Amino acid sequence: MGVYIRSQPIAKISSNLIFLTGKDRGMIKAYDLTSKEYIEINPMTKSGDFDVDGERICFLSVDEEIYCHVYDSNYDYSDSEFDFGSKVVGGYDFVNNDDNPLDDQGHGTHVAATAAGNGILKGVAPEAQIYDYKVLNSGGGGSINWVIAGIEKAVDPNGDGDFSDHVDIISMSLGGRGNPDDPMSKAIDNAVDAGIIAVIAAGNSGPREQTIGSPGTSRKAITVGAIDKNNNLAYFSSKGPVIWEDENREEQLMIKPDIVAPGVNICAAQSLNKPWDNLGCLDNEHVAISGTSMATPHIAGVVALLKQKNPGLTSYAAKYFLMNGAQDLGYLETEQGAGVVNVSFAIQSILKDKGEIEEIDIPPSNCRDTCKSLNYECGMHLVCNEVVDCGACLKGIKKKRFGRR
Under the banding of pLDDT at 50, 70 and 90, the label for residue 207 is very high
> Of the listed 107, 110, 298, 381, which one is catalytic?
107
The range of the structural domain enclosing residue 105 comes to 88-358
| Residue 154 vs residues 103, 133, 293: alpha-carbon distances, Å | 18, 8, 19
What does the alpha-carbon distance between residue 104 and residue 303 come to, in Å, rounded to a whole number?
27
Same domain (yes/no): 96, 121 = yes
Q: What proportion of the chain, given as a percentage, has pLDDT over 70?
A: 73
* Res 382: pLDDT: 38
Q: How many domains does the chain have?
A: 3
Using one digit for the tens of pLDDT, what is the confidence trace for 337-351? 999 999 999 888 887
Give the residue with greater pLDDT, 398 vs 40.
40
96: in domain: yes
Same domain (yes/no): 354, 365 = no
* Res 83: pLDDT: 59
Same domain (yes/no): 190, 259 = yes
Same domain (yes/no): 145, 281 = yes
What does the alpha-carbon distance between residue 405 and residue 390 come to, in Å, rounded to a whole number?
17
The domain boundary, picked from 80, 110, 134, lies at 80
Same domain (yes/no): 229, 170 = yes
Residue 309 has pLDDT above 50, yes or no: yes
Under the banding of pLDDT at 50, 70 and 90, the label for residue 290 is very high
Give the pTM. Answer: 0.73
At 282, give phi and psi (nearest 5°).
70, -60
Residue 353 has pLDDT above 60, yes or no: yes
> Of the listed 15, 32, 63, 80, which one is catalytic?
63
Using one digit for the tens of pLDDT, what is the confidence trace for 68-123? 777 777 766 554 455 566 788 999 999 989 888 888 889 999 999 999 999 899 99
* Res 222: pLDDT: 97
> Of the listed 218, 290, 293, 315, which one is catalytic?
293
* Res 378: pLDDT: 41
Using one digit for the tens of pLDDT, what is the confidence trace for 382-395? 334 433 334 444 43
CA 311: distance to chain centroid? 22
Same domain (yes/no): 353, 254 = yes
Residue 156: which CATH number?
3.40.50.200
Residue 73: which CATH number?
2.40.10.480
Same domain (yes/no): 354, 366 = no
3: in domain: no
Active site residue 189: no
The domain boundary, picked from 80, 105, 134, lies at 80
Same domain (yes/no): 92, 225 = yes
Neighbours of 352 (CB within 10 A): 8
175: in domain: yes
Same domain (yes/no): 178, 92 = yes
* Res 43: pLDDT: 60
What does the alpha-carbon distance between residue 320 and residue 358 come to, in Å, rounded to a whole number?
10
CA 176: distance to chain centroid? 12
Neighbours of 141 (CB within 10 A): 14
67: in domain: yes
What does the alpha-carbon distance between residue 95 and residue 24 come to, in Å, rounded to a whole number?
7
1: in domain: no
Residue 28 has pLDDT above 60, yes or no: yes
Active site residue 107: yes
Check the CA dihedral 63-67-71-72 and report its sign: negative
Of 3-7, 112-116, 278-282, 332-336, the one with minimum mean pLDDT is: 3-7
Q: Name residue 22's amino acid.
A: G
The domain boundary, picked from 45, 80, 115, lies at 80
Burial letters 186-198, b for 16+ CB under 10 A, else e: bbbbbbbebebbb
Give the residue with greater pLDDT, 23 vs 272.
272
The 3-class SS string of 83-103 reads CCCCCEEEEEECCCCECCCCC
Active site residue 69: no
Contact 178, 184 (CB under 8 A): yes
Residues in the chain: 405
